[in-house]
Structure 1
Amino acid sequence: MLLRLPFLLPFILILIIPSAHAAEAGFQRGRTAAGAEIGIWYPAEGLPVRQRFGLYTADVVPDATVPHGRHPLVVISHGTGGDYASHVDTAVALARAGFVVAALTHPGDNWRDNSRAIRIEERPPAVRALVTHMLTIWTGRAAIDPRRIGAFGFSSGGFTVLTAVGGRPNLTRMASHCAANPTYFDCTLMTAQPRASVLPRWPDMRDRRIRAVVLAAPALGFVFDRPGLADVRVPVQLWRADDDRILPAPHYADSVRRALPVSPEFQSVPGAGHFDFLAPCSDPPAMPVICASAPGFDRAAFHVRFNVEVVRFLKAKLGSSRRR
């Protein structure tokens, strides 16, 4: 047996040393026709470099060549006060798994400018415009399969994505909700940014190109009832943080879960807070409100599982990349 070792060694090395052509995540910055800032991640080859994305860091291949083949597209909608990089680790995981990923910074609802944070009706059209941009304007658009598009949304982004697949909220419920829960985040935001009225009837903002969605701690879940979600027929993966102090149970993720016409794939996360769905921060003490987790909760370890589950779900519902 010892004599055979030299002959087996090359095969052993192949198994234990990563391939030089293993999938990495390419990255580009851009803007939509309306001027919204976007980040784009996609499968790539090359030497990754560690790059800073605001509060976060990720290993990417900047401006890498867009791959051949047809790849599913996932668009990402961040929460109030976030930006396109809020879920950078999830975007990178998806890109390495064969997806093209595009995330936008919502105009008027981001960390630089939150002047229109309560104009929630402006968010779904922005996501629709992002899909259109990726399919018709992005230079790498030939690498996208337009029949396989998914979406990921966190907090206000979860609300956004849910309405983009047929959800119709009843925003008149805000008044009674905030009368009973005036200290909740959404209610304090409404107090800080009052508006003359809410939409008496939510228009159909469905984007039929989106075929599967992931919702993490969706905002305003209580404004949806069974009739309001009756048209949501795409597969849904729904996540709840069990120690969410920003959007506490049972008014948000649980309300969506009850109202969906088809039961979602539901995932609850013991010990997690609202912001634990954001990417792990590079320097948590610099922004403890967003970056710090509760004692005993390991955000980085959770995100390993979270990203695996998101990738698995979207692969199952949208399929893998295909060569031409």
Structure 2
Amino acid sequence: MRHLMLAAAATLACAAPALSENRIDLIRPDAPELAARGPHPVGVRAQSFTDPDRIDVIAAIEQGGTPTAERVLQTEIWYPAADGTEAGTTYDTILRDGVTPTVLTGSAARDAAPAEGSFPLVILSHGYPGNRYLMSHLAENLASKGYVVVAADHPESTYDDQQAFASTLVNRAVDQRFLLDSMAGLEGDLGAITDAERAAVVGYSMGGYGALIFGGAGLSPTALERTEPAGFVPPAGLLDRLAAGSEDHAALVDPRIKAVVAIAPWGRQHEFWDADGLNDLAKPLLLVSGSDDDVSIYDAIRQVFDQTTATTRHLLTFDHANHNAAAPIPAPAEAWAFSETLGRAPFDHYADPVWDSVRMNNILQHFTTAFLDQHLKGEDRGAFLDLVPDAEDGVWSVDDAGTPDAAHNYWAGFPERSAKGLMFETKPAGQ
């Protein structure tokens, strides 16, 4: 028994530095192939963008009418950095409780000189609440592979600025379009390397809600006609510009967006879309979900998968995972402790009861890389996207030299025995 206790203590001691550093850049030895970091060092810069005349939903709720105000989006921009750049950045942020400070550690270099070249743009959009660091593992990973990645703090939807849900319903897709326009107009050395004509949006939860709207899925009459509950429903008319078939929504959808990744997208469970509205989404689509999602509801996400018939789409499912599947960074060490503000530990905002967070992050990095390479860079990643739907049905069959034979149909890029608990389904346009 003493030997077991000593071994356990040694294991914890070895794990403690990584935990205390709150690393967002871990790649497990059993990670799928495309999770590995790419050839570029990564730089990161802070940048704010101001929309001078946005409808102020909070003021409209309180006083009526359609008042407008400046809307400031604070962002981080990750990008391929010049050869020889050495990592050295930490990220000062706060936890889900809105007050507890934490420091995250990654592999970027603050304000590094950019690499030479032109790189597609990826917009990352957090949930409600969240912040610009919630998917920073994916941001750094994609930047190392030749993407410029921007993530914003969405006002009224962050840990320390969580206000009426109605604001997020109205603003999220508009924020995403504003980020695209702002990055397209960015000047200086970062603007010079950013190719906003080849862009994608990746959204989690309410970010996924916005991504589907921005991608072309306008809202249903049911969404526009809701009158309750209070705080959930925007003042009359404010959602109209997102309505399926409206001129305003048609003007919001942008041809520069070449692909959409929606992770646990919120909304179909409350009939915010119907089949007609979802059928208007014509961008290639990657959906990601846990089979036990009880927030966005897995069956509703499958409806999105079934009803986006105008495009080829994929659905990656983590068996038994809940709403936190794949998107959030691993829970910072401080999130393990009880929070007086929340009345519980913030741990459950980041973690899943069944799946390891780093494992899920790596799988998301792999599939997002394949999907974006295919649609933004024109690279042939079909082998990683044309899979036996249920990983359990995959057969690992190689000869003594490790060469796959005719019977081998295991998921491409996954080491033997490592694709357990996953589904990857594809439906072509028209079906």
1:96 counterpart (144, 147, 153): 144
Q: Which secondary structure does the structure 1 equivalent of 2:299 belong to?
A: coil
Q: Does 1:307 align with 2:346?
A: no
Structure 1 residue 269: Cα displacement: 0.7
**Mean alpha-carbon deviation: is it higher for 71-80 or for 123-132?**
123-132
Secondary structure of the residue aligned to 1:33 is: strand
Name stretches of at least 5 consecutive residues in structure 1 with no aligned partner.
1-20, 179-186
Give CA-to-partner distance per residue, 1:162-190, whole Å, 9 cap, x none: 111211111625888x9xxxxxxxx9xx4
Q: Please give the secondary structure, in 2, of the residue aligned with 1:49.
A: coil
Alignment CA distance shift 1:133-1:194 (3 Å): closer
The within-5 A match list for 1:177-256 is 190-193=229-232, 195-197=234-236, 199=239, 202=243, 203-204=248-249, 205-221=252-268, 222-251=271-300, 253-256=301-304
Query: Are 2:196 and 1:146 equivalent residues in the alignment?
Result: yes
Q: 1:168 to 1:62 in 2, by over 3 A?
A: same
Shift, 1:84, TM fit: 1.1
Change (3 A) 1:279 1:309: same
Query: Aligned partner of 1:105: which letter?
Result: D
- Normalised to the residue count of structure 1, the TM-score between the two structures is 0.81
Report Cα offsets for 1:74-127 as digits up to 9, x if no partner: 011111111111100000110001100001111111111122432212122211
Any unmatched runs of 5+ in structure 2? 1-37, 52-71, 96-103, 338-345, 380-431
Residue 27, structure 1, aligned to residue 75, structure 2: no
Counterpart for residue 127 of structure 1: 176
Tell me if 1:109 matches 2:168: no
Q: 1:319 Cα shift? A: 0.5
C-alpha contact (below 8 Å) 2:266/2:295 kept by paired residues: no
Root-mean-square deviation over aligned CA pairs: 2.4
Summarize the Cα distance change of 1:53–1:309 in structure 2 as closer, same or farther, 3 Å threshold: farther
Give the Cα–Cα distance (whole angstroms) in 2 for the partners of residues 175 and 240 of structure 1: 28
Q: Is the 8 A contact 1:285 1:292 kept in 2?
A: no
Percent identical pairs in the alignment equals 24
Q: Matches of 2:186 and 2:223 in 1, distance apart?
A: 39
Q: Which amino acid aligns with 2:254?
A: D
What SS is found at the alignment partner of 2:176? helix
Distance 1:285 1:37 in 2: 27
Quick one: which of 216, 227, 231 aligns to 1:166?
A: 216
Give the direction of change, closer, same or farther, for the CA distance of 1:317–1:200 in structure 2 (3 Å limit). Answer: closer
Task: Select between 125-134 and 89-98 the one with higher mean Cα deviation.
Answer: 125-134
Q: CA deviation at 1:193?
A: 4.7
Contact 1:171 1:200 in 2 (8 A): no
| Structure 2 match to 1:11 | none
Question: Structure 1's 43 and 207: CA in aligned 2 closer, same or farther, altered over 3 A?
Answer: same
Of stretches 44-53 and 206-215 in structure 1, the one that deviates more from structure 2 is 44-53
TM-score by length of 2: 0.62
Q: Which moved more, 1:47-56 or 1:300-309?
A: 47-56
Tell me which residue corresponds to 1:257: 305
Q: Give me the whole-angstrom Cα distance separating, in 2, the residues matched to 1:200 and 1:206.
A: 15
Q: Which secondary structure does the structure 1 equivalent of 2:217 belong to?
A: coil
Contact 2:164 2:231 in 1 (8 A): no
Q: Comparing 134-143 with 233-242, which one deviates more in the overlay?
A: 134-143
Task: Summarize deviations over 1:25-63 as a string: whole Å, max 9, x none.
Answer: 210011003321011000114111251353543221110
The answer (yes or no) to whether the contact 1:50–1:57 under 8 Å persists in 2 is: yes
